[in-house]
A and B are shown apart, each in its own frame.
Chain A
Amino acid sequence: MRRLLTIGIACALLGIAGFTAVSTFSPHSSGAATTTATTTGATGATGATGTTGAQGTVPATPTPEPAATETSTSDWILIAIEGLLVIGFIALGVRSGGIGLGLWGGVGTLILVFVFGLDPGEPPFDAMLIIVAVIAAAAAMEAAGGIDYMVLIASRALRARPKAINFVAPYVSYLLCILTGTSNTFYSIIPVINEVSFANKIRPERPLAGSTVASALGITSSPVAAAMATILPLVEVYDYNLVDVLLITIPASLVGIFLMSLVMSRHGRDLEDDAEYKRRRDAGEIQAPASSENIRLKQYAKRSVAIFLGAVLVICIFGLFEGIRPTVAAAEGPGTEPLAVTPIIQMVMLTAAAMILVFAHVSAADIPGMPIFRSGMVAMIALFGIAWMADTFIASNEDAIVSALGDLAGKWPFMIAVAIFAVAALTTSQSAATRTMVPLGLALGIGAGYMIAMWTAVAGVLFLPANGTQIAAAEADSTGTTTLGKRVIDHSFQLPLQVAWITTALVGILIVAVFH
């Protein structure tokens, strides 16, 4: 009761503060950076007298849009209040846990829109639908006994060194991301990593958190990722092509992931000693892992695993080789272009689920009852609310955030890696961090090779616990060791993230210093 009262008072105070601030600082617009107007203009402008050139229907010689290089103090106050609200609701969400994360995210979105007058952002439709498709396939496999079979095989393989999963899992997720260019593929192995580690009495947080971070690092190592397509035109004039970029990012990431896995393999108490796990086990919320010798395989378990892994392989092949993808009408002009990977993941995973129904003789009615299905749906709702709230805040304030961090890097160029990390964290977008901060670093005279090395800092998207992969991994872990934290930054992914990106950036810088 007291807790609810506290939450209510906090919401009311924030709402009043927001309403007052909005009323007082009325010029606030959805593009926060465009509000103030110290017209610096173009001092040497000589040639821009007309407006359009070829077409005659446009109004003649309009006044140029004023240069908006600074965000006013009043805007910063508003942005700060909005940011505090977002962080506050993330904190409330992670404290509530599970579906509560999404529900509080929805409340935050409502306040941002109704009280602060922001335009609502876009929920992460792609990620949500991928979770649905992958969870359908994984739950079908679980119903067919496929998860048990994978646990059995993995347990045998890891018998001598069960802790090896702390190293193997991150590299597998990294590889999947490289092959497909998106960390969406990682969703497909989250349940497998969780079950295998739990069955081997390994604290699931170790491989799950490490793998989540490794999948984010895979973006900067993938020849088919959108972020890679963004950076190449920026650095090619400095004589860096795709191979040169990969020769920096891949070795650096491999070392970063290794050190991260090493740290994570020693992180936290062992599962049997973990207080939260013991509480859940004693309360009957979770069963202790069965010995692999006691696993009784269902008749078509192997078949379901073959179908599921085959689907993952198919996605990787389509991701890597654009030429074999179906073509769709080009977005502009005549001709066609390859289908994107995201709908391919969704289609292939739903098809895999259907194939498991048919060939592994699973009843469709059994699938929603599987634990994997439940945790996946919770993750989807959690992601829905929290990512929607974050996007509502970011879409309105991205310019101001990027501008402020750009100014920081302009004053102290050695802070560029931190600025890239911070932009990625605050915008939760690798592409936004790449397209805004990398050219800025190049203009500041930082070597292109070093910029590529520091570009790996876009893994900072995992700094706040508001991403699909983080939420899905935390929800999949029924032992409770993988958490989204209590104070927003103290989540399970923070330590591996910091170790991985620092190591990767440092090794990348050393590679450039020695070989370029």
Chain B
Amino acid sequence: MRWFAWVGVILAAVIVVSGLMAAIDNGRDHSGETVRASQWADDVCGTVGAWEGQLKNIREELRRNNWAARRSDGSTGDSAEQIVTVRGATTRAIRATQDTLQEGLKRAGIPDTGQGAAASAILRDWANDTELRLRVAKAVIKEKPTSVAESFASLMPPYAALARSLVAGRAAVAKVEALDSDLADALDRSGNCRRLKKRDA
């Protein structure tokens, strides 16, 4: 086959898969819209669950890797695919917070309850706080330590930032539940929220 035939094959592949996905599931974006409380609860908990899953993956990779670890195994899908440093992990946590948590909460929209707008704002503020905490932590790692003690101490901020964010997340959900009984009910009945609570318990 000539090279342009290969390009044709690849373009056809792109069109076929994208076309089917466009027809079946093109995602959802309720940014700024009012949505049913049950749907909002499902979307919010799904988003938080996926974000926590990313953090869990980062944590697992940090556990296995260090500066002396190898980065590549030749793309075989094996576990030693890359080196993960604390700074790199913090960058990834920031990206996860931006791309998954903040984007997902924004797209979840505003629940159609009395305090829906306030509830949505509480959770989005929490997501923004999380990003800021991580950026502060990354700035600390970036500064060149002047002593061994400082070197080790600079490793702590990212962990502390994430730990505080997870605690703050639970507090934010509790605040939402206290704010609006309809939302508390929706969060309680949502399948995604039940599984999230079970996983975090």
Contact = CB atoms under 8 A, between A and B. Distances in A.
Interface of A: 31, 34, 41-48, 51-55, 57-59, 61-67, 69, 121-128, 181-184, 216, 219, 225-227, 229-230, 232-239, 331-332, 340-342, 383, 387, 391, 395, 399, 403, 406, 410, 412-418, 428-432, 435-436, 439-448, 450, 454, 457-458, 461, 467-469, 487, 489-490, 494-495, 498, 501-502, 505-506, 509, 513
Nearest to A49: B136
Nearest to B22: A414
A445 B27 contact: yes
A457 B21 CA distance: 13
A414 B133 contact: no
Of listed A47, A395, A468, residue having the most chain B CB within 10 A: A47
Given A445-B43, A489-B10, A498-B13, A391 B72 contact: yes
Given A44-B124, A182-B77, A417 B150 contact: no
B1 to A, nearest CB: 7
Given A183-B76, A237-B195, A435-B57, A58 B21 contact: no
A54 B128 contact: no
B153 A57 contact: yes
Give chain A's interface secondary structure class: helix
Contacts of B104: 442-443, 445
Given A47-B168, A219-B77, 13 more contacts: A45-B129, A125-B72, A128-B74, A237-B49, A332-B63, A340-B80, A383-B74, A391-B72, A414-B19, A440-B100, A442-B100, A444-B27, A502-B16
Contacts of B110: none
Interface string B92-108: 10111011110110010
Nearest to A501: B13
Contacts of B132: 41-42, 45, 48, 64
B17 interface: yes
B191 A439 contact: no
Contacts of A432: 81-82
Q: Is the interface of B mostly helix, strand, loop or mixed?
A: helix
B160 A52 contact: yes
A338 B131 CA distance: 35
B108 to A, nearest CB: 8
A58 B124 contact: no
Contacts, number: 306
Contacts of A447: 25
Interface residues of B, number: 97
A54 B135 CA distance: 18
B53 A237 contact: yes
A387 B17 contact: no
B64 interface: yes
B27 A53 contact: no
A439 B129 contact: no
A424 B196 CA distance: 29
Interface string B18-35: 111110111111000000
B21 A454 contact: yes
A65 B17 contact: no
A137 B67 CA distance: 33
A233 B52 contact: yes
Contact of A341 (B70, B78, B91, B135): B78
A461 B129 CA distance: 36
A95 to B, nearest CB: 13
A414 B50 contact: no
B71 A126 contact: no
Contacts of A341: 78
B46 A429 contact: no
A495 B1 contact: yes
Interface string B40-75: 000101111111111011001001111000111111
A225 B73 CA distance: 13
A410 B72 contact: no
